Amino acid sequence: MKLHLSALFCLLVVMSLAAGCMAPAPAAAPSKPCTITFGAAVSLTGATAKEGEYVKNGYNMFIEDTNKQGGFKVGKQQCTISVKIYDDESNADTSAKLIEKLVTEDKVNLLLGPYGTGPVFSASAIAEKYDVPMVEPGGAGIKIFTRGFKNVWGTLPAAGTYLKSAVDMILAKDPSAKNVALFIENDSFSQEVADGITPYLKEKGLNLVYSEQYPKGTKDVSSLVTAAKAKNPDFVLGASHLADAELVVKQAKDIGLNAKAWAFSVGPSTPEFGTALGKDSTYILGVTPWTPAMKFQGQDIYGTPLKFSEAFKAKYGYEPSYHSASAVATFIAFQKAIEAAGSVEPKAVREQLGKLDVPTFYGQLKFAPEGIIVKPMGVVQWDTDGKMVSVWPKDIAEKDPLYPAPPWDKR
């Protein structure tokens, strides 16, 4: 046994010496082609396969368009970029395993994120473990950013800010609006939305006359709608997802709960909302970090949302959602940070990501100290022609919002 151990020790010494000899020279010759490799685990199958595909398409499109223009500028060199994408099956544990593989086996330089708060939460822990910066496009849960990690940045605004823009818009239109009803889905994301908006309503001097939770996956909210109706709210807010937002609207119409404005955190900003509810979707407000119609001016390869949208449509045949735009924004954050740092060393890139403050087609890219983007949500509304238009903030909006919403029986 003793012999064994010493033999092993000798072997280790020899190996480490050999490794030392084989290590590359620190400064690469300028003529040598260089490539920056990014790694990502994205949900290409499973519950969020659709959103995962949007993210993946964003990543691939940016790579292609950037390499056409010569890639990233690193110091004096132009480097092409590439991305290695694995399928995390919408599973948080798988996502973490794949990130570990990307870092240890594939030796990627930097990390992009998965889709969904769950996978981002576990994947970013691995990024932190190996000290590799990750900018992620698909996790808005604040719990990702409250662990004191220094390697995770996110390009989706925090869930707690989702409904604030809608409230600002309503108050700008109608300062006399006072009474608010709030429906809350019993789910971690929706709870964060509600926890963010409740103190904000108080701050704005509004009365929360009705606030109630319903179970996730509920089939009937008629009792909540009935109770809210008895309180005569001026406007109704929903901390919700798509199916329950539709359910609230349907049953509000059934029971005759009327309000001057309606806004939901998730639901109205997806095209399905309009097709499913038809005319009943008119006047309803949704929030989204990005739409092709917003009027941002950026210093990046796309410049404006419209140009990005046209290029995306030409390549994939459908209009991009905010998922794809957010995915591209993560790359732009890396591009700007790498160019400012003149290096792809994690430490230098990390420092520059923290300092970032650039206009892009996605809006201003600037992160709060904990890593989440500082960006107001835009407000969209379904108009009378059955189209979703952006109505807020004013400077980037297409149209003035329709207000107030008429009662259901007068439409």
Binding segment (CB under 8 A) for other proteins, from list 240-248, 288-296, 316-324, 367-375: 240-248
CA distance 320 to 188: 27
Site residues for other proteins, 335-354, by CB under 8 A, read: none
By beta-carbon proximity to other proteins, the closer residue of 42 and 221 is: 221
Among 247, 261, 353, 373, binds other proteins (CB under 8 A): 247
Minimum distance from residue 364 beta carbon to other proteins (Å): 33
- Determine, following the binding rule CB under 8 A, whether residue 84 of this chain makes contact with other proteins: no
- Determine, following the binding rule CB under 8 A, whether residue 70 of this chain makes contact with other proteins: no
CA distance 64 to 11: 45
Query: What distances in angstroms separate CA 82 from CA 39, 85, 284, 402, one per listed residue?
Result: 9, 10, 41, 45
Residue 369 · residue 375 · CB < 8 Å: no
Q: Which residues contact residue 247 at a Cβ distance below 8 angstroms, ignoring those fewer than 6 apart?
A: 218, 219, 220, 221
By beta-carbon proximity to other proteins, the closer residue of 77 and 186 is: 186
Among 93, 203, 254, 319, binds other proteins (CB under 8 A): 254
Site residues for other proteins, 263-302, by CB under 8 A, read: 272, 276-280
Q: How many CB atoms are closer than 10 A to CB 92? A: 18
CA distance 128 to 302: 31
Among 37, 67, 78, 213, binds other proteins (CB under 8 A): 213
CA distance 381 to 377: 13
Instruction: Please work out the total of residues on this chain that contact other proteins, with binding judged by CB under 8 A.
Output: 35
By beta-carbon proximity to other proteins, the closer residue of 229 and 315 is: 229
Q: How many CB atoms are closer than 10 A to CB 299? A: 12
Binding segment (CB under 8 A) for other proteins, from list 106-114, 171-179, 211-219, 299-307: 211-219
CA distance 62 to 68: 10
By beta-carbon proximity to other proteins, the closer residue of 60 and 218 is: 218
Minimum distance from residue 384 beta carbon to other proteins (Å): 16
CA distance 50 to 356: 30
Chain positions contacting other proteins, by CB under 8 A: 50, 186, 212-215, 217-224, 226-227, 229-230, 242-243, 246-247, 250, 253-256, 272, 276-280, 408-409
